[in-house]
Every structure is written in structure tokens, then in C-alpha cells.
Structure 1
Amino acid sequence: MENIKTCCYKEDIGHECHAPALASGLCFWHDAKQVKDGPDIVHQLEEHARSGGMLRGIHLRHAQLKGIDLVHHHSKTGYDMSHADLYRANLHGAHLFNLNLEHANVMKADLRDANLHLTRLHQANLLGAKWTGAKIENVHIGPHIIQEQQAYRAATVGEQEIAQDYFEQAEEIYRDLRRAAEHEGLFSMAGEYIQKELVMRRMQMPKYSKRRMISKLIDIFCGYGEAPLRVIFFSMALILGCACVYFFTGLMFGGQLHVATDTMQWGEYLSLFLNCVYYSVVTFTTLGYGDFTPIGYSKAVAAFEAFTGSFTIALFVVVFVNKMTR
């Protein structure tokens, strides 16, 4: 009896396909030359998945998979379609709940109205994918998309043109994801994506340009309006920093100079520092009680802190309202 040859697809980490091979040595699903747009292709792929067939690395370029059900029912883990090629695949309305698409090529795939809840897309190529109406709540794309990582690597070795192209691609991907999240009413998720989108835009600006530095400052202070906690941390750092300056430059209270000296005891140091923190808070919030007054260099620091404090408080109100009204 003639032995049936099996698919020669094999990965370095040990995964291999045991489906019957075609003349190419690959099975129907792993052979990139096999056209997968027949009227029965959806049913065939569903049966292949349910029968335990290997889905890792399968080629589904231009495949017509509208409405396909690739949910691994009655199982806590979804099907593994990592490294699959889904370039321009039609997945309109597909059920992809909990599907593993890590390292997959989803470039320009039609994911409109698809259920991608809990789908894993780490290191997947998402450029040009259509997300309109897709259910993307709790979708996992990882901390950095692949184009973002490639851009930073290219910039590190001085390949600025390549880095620029990858940063543009990353910005486009994050923008598409942000719009999809807004469409679904997932405004917290949209806020995260807009931060990443603007960071990618900043990285395309000339390195030491004024626009890039201003953009970086906005990111540090408030995460482009999406991180009110950053404003709070900056405020606390400024208050404590200025308090340390007042501690050594001195403040006047009741006609007496209060400044750190070598002869003071630890209790006196603590009392003076707490007074400096109090004065710093009063100055930052522009309350100006008048009990403590700055002298010498403290005047310049107090003026800077008062100006920065009034601006920072206004910024926090804007950022906080922006988050709460979503």
C-alpha cells in the first residue's frame, strides 16, 4: 500500500502539519498557490479547525471567509492561527472570539463587523485592516505593534528613511484602531490609541525641532490630554522640588529668617521642611496667605512656581473633564 505523504510544513519550535500533501509537498491550507475563494471554503476551513487540523501558518490570502465561525466552542482556549497569512482576506462578520493571531499577517484584511473579543494580535501586521463595526473590546495587540518596534530598531542603527516609513505605518494603524474604538464607544481604549498615534507622529518630526520638543513636553505632562495622573505627579514633584529650594534659600516669617543651618537639630530640620512644603503648596495654588515671604533666590523660584502652578491646575481641569465626559 502506497504511503500517503504528509505536509512538509514545520516550525523550528516543533509544530508540524500532518495533513495530506499535494504535489507541492504542502497541504491545501499551507500551500500559498492554492486559491481559497470557492463557495464552500468557509465550511471547509471550519471543518478543518474542528477536526483538529493545524491552523498555524496557513495561507489565506484573498480568501473569501465572510461570516466564518472560528470560535473554539466548549474550550477555554481559542484556535491557534498564529503566523497565518490573511492578506486581503474577507473576514467581514467573522466570529473570531479568543482566536490566536499572533505574528499573523492581517494586512488589508476586511474585519468589518467581526467579533474580535479577546483575540490575540501580538506582533501581527495590522496595516490597512478594516475595523469598522468590529467588536474589539479586550483585543490584545501587545504594548507595541510590529511596525513600531521595527521603526525604533531602524532608528537605532541610523536608518532614518526606513524608520520614518515604519513610524508612518504605525501611526496609521493606531489611528484606525482609535477610530474603531470610538465607533464602539470604547473611549478609554480610544484614549490609549490616540496617545500612541501622537507619539508615532512625534517620532516623524526632526529630532531636535521645536514642534517635537513641545509634543514631548505635552506627552510628559498629560499624555496628550489622556493621562490626568501625570499632571498630578508633575504637580507633586514641582511642589516638593520647590520646597527643597526654599529649605536652603530661606523664607521670612514674622520678621525672622527661616533657613537650614549646620547647627539645627533633626526636629528643627523636619519642622522647617514642613513649613517649606506648606509655603510651596500655597504658592503653587496661588493662594498667597502672606504668612511666609520669599527672600533672595526664593523670590525667583516662587514666581516660577506660582506661574507654573496656575497653568498646571488649569491643565488638570481640562484633562480631567476630557476624560470624565467620554
Structure 2
Amino acid sequence: MSDNNLCSYVSPEGIPCRQEAEDSGKCFWHDPSIDKRDHSLSKELEQLARSGASLHGLLLKEADLKEVNLVKRGSDTGYDLSYSDLYHAHLNGAHLFNLKLQNGSLMKANLAEANLHLCSFENTNLLGVKWGKARIDGMRVGQQISQERKAEQAYQKGDLPKAIDNFEQSEEIYRDLRKLAETQGLFEEAGHFLCKELTMRRFQFPLYSRRRIQSKLIDLFCGYGERPLNVIVFSLLLIFTSAICYFFLGVSANNEVIGFNSELSVETNMKYFFNSIYYSVVTFTTLGYGDITPVGASRFVAALEAFIGSFTLALFVVVFVKKMTR
């Protein structure tokens, strides 16, 4: 077959299609004028994949691909359908283990009962996907889904309505993924999707609104209840910051005010600083041994630290138990 009879499609990665072209200059798989709604293409697509042909950029809108088997046996990498459009495609019960579909579309596709183990859907449109009972363990969607990336780009350009619309779509996608992960016992993935879902919701609020600031603080403080390490880091920062305050404002020990004094030696000042750290830890945990007490402005710092500390410890227990009981 001469090159003149080959499909003119070339993927963004520079990979040409080597299939026979129709009158349009594109092959059956890449010709946008061919309506594939009335075609049951499962077997044909399996044959195309096993022939070693490039699967980039396939146009399979509303195609019937029920129970298609695209598992590449004996290979560490699966078939690559990147840049393909599977809008509203019927993929019920499909076997897509280790499939790669990046920079494409699965919008409103039916993936009920499909095996999506280790699939890669980075930068692929997942809006409105009917997940059903699809198995998603090991499935990858990337650090950002396509709508999230579009939202950030629109926000940077000052197109607020478009940004909010894409943030809403992102929230919906992450919510669907979170619910699906929870039903399958994939709680680490569910926690990640929950954080992303609530982050997308936060970006829909006005920049300096109370709800947006509150949501951001909760995210920083405990990662929406999914990151116990955030609570630990916050606790350490609070203890250290309060210790510095005690060191410069002074505290009382054995009826003597101790704290920073430029006239004292470095060793003595360091001793007082470590005493301040000790007192900060005791105050944060609300132990209150009484060997060191606050004086002057230190009393306000101690009261504030004790209040925040009691709340933080309770929150840490809740978040930690939540993670461990999963």
C-alpha cells in the first residue's frame, strides 16, 4: 500500500496512522464524518490493538465497545489510546487493565463493571462518567484533572465565570471518584479525592470571603480531616512560636523572672530558652505542673496556647483514629 493511500492522521507525539484511508483522507478510526453509534466495534478494536497499530487519537464517540478486551498480555505496559475521544462510549464490562488514555475524553462514557486496574487517565475528561461498579484500584488521574487545569488557566487570565464552571466540574468528578473509592474500600484514594473535592469547592467562593478563608484554614490545619501530619506540624509550630514569646516576654521560676537578657551569657540565655520550650510544651498539653508560671503579657500567650492546644489534641485524636480505623 502506497503512502498516498494511508490515513493522514498524525498524533501530537508525531506517530502516524498506518491504516488505509477512506475518501476523506482519514481511516475509519480517525474519520470524524463516520458515525460510529450503530457499530459494535469491540472485536474490530481488539484486532486493531493486537496488530500493533497506533491507537492514538481514535474517534469512538458513542461507539458500542461492551466487554472489549484491551489487556496487553505479557507486557509491562498496556495499550495506549491517548488523545482518543470516547464520548458517551459504551464500555460496560470492558477489560482495560493497564490501559493508557491520556489527553483524551471519556465524558459520559459508561464504564459500569469495567476493569480499570492500573489505568492511566491523566488529563482526560472524566465529566459525567458512569462508573457503576468499575474497579479502579491503582487507577491514576494525575495531580490535576483536565477541568482543574483549565480552571486555573482561566483564573490566571481573569476569566472568572469559566474558571468557576470548571471548578464546579472538577468538584463533581472528584466527588464521583471519592464515592466510588469508598464503596471499594480504597480509603487512601477516597481521602485524596475528598481533599481535592473540597479544594475545588473552595475555589468557587469569592477570594476573601469567610467561607473560603475558613476552608483554607481547615485544609492547612488538618487537610480536611485526612492529614494527621498537618496537625502535628501545626502543634510543633505553635509550641515553638509560644516558646519564643515566653523567652522574650519572660516567665517566673522559683520566684525569679527568667527570659532573654543581653547582659547574661549565651549559655544562660540558652538555658532560659530551653526552659521556655519546656513550659510551652506543658502549657500546650495543659499539664500545668506549676514549676514555671507566666507573668505579664506571657499570661495572654499561655491562655491562648492552652486553649488552642486542648482543641488541637482533641482534633488530632479524631483525625488519627479516623485514619487508623480504616
Q: Same fold (TM over 0.5)?
A: yes
Q: Does 1:121 align with 2:121?
A: yes
Total equivalences in the alignment = 326
Match of 1:255 in 2: 255
1:216 Cα deviation (Å)?
A: 1.1
Q: Call closer, same or farther: CA 1:200–1:98 in 2, change over 3 Å.
A: same
Match of 2:137 in 1: 137
Q: Call closer, same or farther: CA 1:2–1:79 in 2, change over 3 Å.
A: closer
- Whether the 8 Å CA contact 1:132–1:183 is kept in 2: the answer is no
Q: Distance in 1 between matches of 2:144 and 2:110?
A: 22
Sequence identity percentage = 52
1:199 Cα deviation (Å)?
A: 0.7
Report the 3-state secondary structure (helix = DSSP H, G, I; strand = E; otherwise coil) of the residue aligned with 2:5: coil
Q: Call closer, same or farther: CA 1:12–1:170 in 2, change over 3 Å.
A: closer
Q: Distance in 2 between matches of 1:275 and 1:2?
A: 85
- Whether the 8 Å CA contact 2:286–2:309 is kept in 1: the answer is yes
Q: Call closer, same or farther: CA 1:205–1:317 in 2, change over 3 Å.
A: same
1:81 corresponds to which letter in structure 2?
A: L
Q: Distance in 1 between matches of 2:233 and 2:2?
A: 73
2:60 corresponds to which letter in structure 1?
A: L
- Deviation per CA, 1:117-172, whole angstroms, max 9, x where unpaired? 11111110110011121111111111111111111111122111111100000000
Match of 1:221 in 2: 221
Match of 1:94 in 2: 94
Match of 1:280 in 2: 280
Q: Does 1:150 align with 2:165?
A: no
1:38 Cα deviation (Å)?
A: 5.2
Q: Distance in 2 between matches of 1:314 and 1:227?
A: 14
- Deviation per CA, 1:74-104, whole angstroms, max 9, x where unpaired? 1111111000000000111111111110101
1:40 Cα deviation (Å)?
A: 5.0
User: Within 5 A, what are the aligned runs for 1:193-212?
Assistant: 193-212=193-212
- Whether the 8 Å CA contact 2:11–2:57 is kept in 1: the answer is no
- Whether the 8 Å CA contact 1:58–1:85 is kept in 2: the answer is yes
Report the 3-state secondary structure (helix = DSSP H, G, I; strand = E; otherwise coil) of the residue aligned with 1:287: coil
- Whether the 8 Å CA contact 1:150–1:166 is kept in 2: the answer is yes
Match of 1:32 in 2: 32
Q: Does 1:80 align with 2:80?
A: yes
Match of 1:321 in 2: 321
1:58 Cα deviation (Å)?
A: 0.5
- Whether the 8 Å CA contact 1:4–1:20 is kept in 2: the answer is no
Q: Distance in 2 between matches of 1:57 and 1:238?
A: 53
- Deviation per CA, 1:40-73, whole angstroms, max 9, x where unpaired? 5211110000001221000010011011001111
1:2 Cα deviation (Å)?
A: 8.0
2:206 corresponds to which letter in structure 1?
A: P
Bigger Cα displacement from structure 2, 259-268 vs 87-96:
259-268
Q: Distance in 2 between matches of 1:81 and 1:239?
A: 52
Q: Does 1:71 align with 2:71?
A: yes
Bigger Cα displacement from structure 2, 225-234 vs 260-269:
260-269
Q: Distance in 1 between matches of 2:40 and 2:213?
A: 56
- Whether the 8 Å CA contact 2:125–2:146 is kept in 1: the answer is yes
Q: Does 1:291 align with 2:291?
A: yes
- Whether the 8 Å CA contact 1:251–1:293 is kept in 2: the answer is yes
Bigger Cα displacement from structure 2, 215-224 vs 7-16:
7-16
Q: TM-score, normalised by structure 1?
A: 0.97
- Deviation per CA, 1:191-228, whole angstroms, max 9, x where unpaired? 11011101111111122111111111111101111111
1:32 Cα deviation (Å)?
A: 2.0
User: Within 5 A, what are the aligned runs for 1:27-66?
Assistant: 27-37=27-37, 40-66=40-66
User: Within 5 A, what are the aligned runs for 1:297-312?
Assistant: 297-312=297-312
Bigger Cα displacement from structure 2, 303-312 vs 128-137:
128-137
Q: Distance in 2 between matches of 1:76 and 1:213?
A: 45
Q: Distance in 1 between matches of 2:2 and 2:128?
A: 46
- Whether the 8 Å CA contact 2:259–2:269 is kept in 1: the answer is no
Q: Distance in 1 between matches of 2:129 and 2:152?
A: 22
Specify every segment of 5 or more residues in structure 2 that has no aligned partner in the other structure, as ranges.
Answer: none
